[in-house]
Structure 1
Amino acid sequence: MATTVLSSAQSTVRNWWISLLIGILYIIAGVWVFQTPLASYVSLSIVFSVFIFVSGISQILFSITNKNDINNWGWYLAGGILDLIIGLLLMSHPLMTMTILPFYVGFWLLFQGFMAIGLSFQFKAIDVPNWGWLLFLGFLTLMFAFLLLANPVFAGLSIIYMTAMAFVSAGIFRIFLAFGLKKIKNDFS
C-alpha cells in the first residue's frame, strides 16, 4: 500500500490550525476584494503580494513542524516555498505585478486547486468524512484559475471578482482541510 501524506495511522498532525488560519485569511482577502471592486488595481496587487508571502511562511512553518509526523511533508514545504518566492517577486516588482497579475494569480490558484484535489482523494482513502466537499472546492478553485489564465487581458472587474471567488473557494477548502486534519489528529492521538 502506497503511503500518502495522511495515511499513516501513527501520525498525528500538529498545528492543524495553521490551515484554518490560512483559510480564514483567504476568505478575508476574498471578501475584501468583493467589497472594494473599484479600488485601485495597484492596491489589489500589493495586498495579493503580501498575502501570498504570508501564506508561504505559514505553509513552511506547517510543513517543518509536522515533518516527523507526515509522510511526504516535503510537498507542503515545496508549496510554501513556491508561495514565498512568488510573494517576494510580486512585492519587489509592483509595476510588473500589475501587468502580469492575472498569470501569477492563475498559476498560483492552479497549484492550490491541484493540491486540494490530491488531498481530497487522500482523505477519501482514510475515510475522512466530507472529503467530497474538498474535491468540489478543489475543482472550483481550478475553474477560476483556468478562467483567469484563459482571459488575462480581461482584467478590470472580471479579474477582481474571479480572484475574490477563487480566494473564497480556496479559503473554504482550507477550513475543511483544517477540521479534517484535526479529526485525524484526534483519532490517532
Structure 2
Amino acid sequence: MNTEEKQLAGILSRNWWLILLRGLIAVIFGFLTWFQPGISLNALVFLFGVYVLADGAIGAWIAITGRKEHEDWWVLLLWGLLGIGVGILAFLAPSITALILLFYIAIWAIATGVLEIVAATRLRKEIKGEWLLILGGLISVVFGVFLIAQPSAGILALLWLIAAYAVFFGILLIALAFRVRVFNRQPENL
C-alpha cells in the first residue's frame, strides 16, 4: 500500500458520511422521479439540477478538504465541478427540450463514471469494496452511452431510466460509504 493511496483512502474514510449523503440524495431523487412520472420537463430539469449540483458540491468538498494530503485531489475536484456546472446549466436553461436534457445527463454520467473508475483503480489496494465504485462508474458510463445511442426514447422511459440509475447508483454509494467508514479503524498489515 503506497502513501498516496493511503492518503486518498483516508480522505474517503474521514468523509464517509458525505459519500453516504450522496447515495441517499441519489436514492431520494430516483424514488421521487419514479413516483411522480407525470411531472413537467421543467420540474425534471429543476430536480436534476438540484441533484447534480448537490452531488457536485459534495464531491468538490471532499476534494478540497483532502487537497493537502493527496496530490491527485484535482481529479475529485474536477468530478465535483463538472456536477456543479451541469447543475447550474440546468437552472439557467429551464425550458430546454427533452433531447438537450438527455444529452446533459448522458455527458455528465459518462464523465462522472470515467472519473469514478479512475479514482477506484487508484484505491483498489487501499479499501475493501472499491469494486462498488468501479461498478458505479461503469454503470454511469453505460447509462450515458445508452442515452446518446437512443435519443428518441420517450420522456417517460427517460424518467424511469434516470430513476433506476439514481437508485442503483445511490445504493452502491451507500454501501461504499459504510465500507470506507471503517478504513481508519482497521490495523495496518505489516
Q: Structure 1-normalised TM-score?
A: 0.85
- Evaluate the alpha carbon distance shift between residue 114 and residue 11 of structure 1 in structure 2; reply closer, same or farther with a 3 A threshold: closer
Q: Unaligned regions of 5+ residues in structure 1, if any?
A: none
For 1:157, give the aligned amino acid: L
Q: Is the 8 A contact 1:138 1:173 kept in 2?
A: no
For 1:132, give the aligned amino acid: W
Tell me which residue corresponds to 1:72. 72
- Evaluate the alpha carbon distance shift between residue 67 and residue 97 of structure 1 in structure 2; reply closer, same or farther with a 3 A threshold: farther
**Following superposition of structure 1 onto structure 2, how do residues 87-166 of structure 1 map, counting pairs within 5 Å?**
87-96=87-96, 98-126=98-126, 128-166=127-165
Shift of 1:17: 1.0
Shift of 1:188: 7.0
Tell me which residue corresponds to 1:179. 178
CA distance in 1, matches of 2:30, 2:115: 19
Q: Unaligned regions of 5+ residues in structure 2, if any?
A: none
- Evaluate the alpha carbon distance shift between residue 165 and residue 133 of structure 1 in structure 2; reply closer, same or farther with a 3 A threshold: same
Answering whether residue 46 of structure 2 is matched by residue 25 of structure 1, we say no
Selected match of 1:8 from 6, 9, 23: 6
Q: Is the 8 A contact 1:20 1:174 kept in 2?
A: yes
Q: Deviations over 1:29-53 (max 9, x none)?
A: 0111111122222211111012211
Shift of 1:99: 4.3
CA distance in 2, matches of 1:139, 1:10: 21
For 1:171, give the aligned amino acid: G
- Evaluate the alpha carbon distance shift between residue 51 and residue 188 of structure 1 in structure 2; reply closer, same or farther with a 3 A threshold: farther
Q: Deviations over 1:155-175 (max 9, x none)?
A: 321111111121122212322
SS of match in other structure, 1:175: helix
Q: Structure 2-normalised TM-score?
A: 0.84
RMSD value, Cα: 2.5
For 1:113, give the aligned amino acid: G
CA distance in 1, matches of 2:159, 2:36: 9
Shift of 1:81: 1.1
CA distance in 1, matches of 2:117, 2:57: 22
- Evaluate the alpha carbon distance shift between residue 180 and residue 69 of structure 1 in structure 2; reply closer, same or farther with a 3 A threshold: farther
The worse-fitting range, judged by mean Cα deviation, of 26-35 and 133-142 is 133-142
CA distance in 1, matches of 2:113, 2:81: 17
- Evaluate the alpha carbon distance shift between residue 112 and residue 181 of structure 1 in structure 2; reply closer, same or farther with a 3 A threshold: same
CA distance in 2, matches of 1:83, 1:9: 24
SS of match in other structure, 1:27: helix
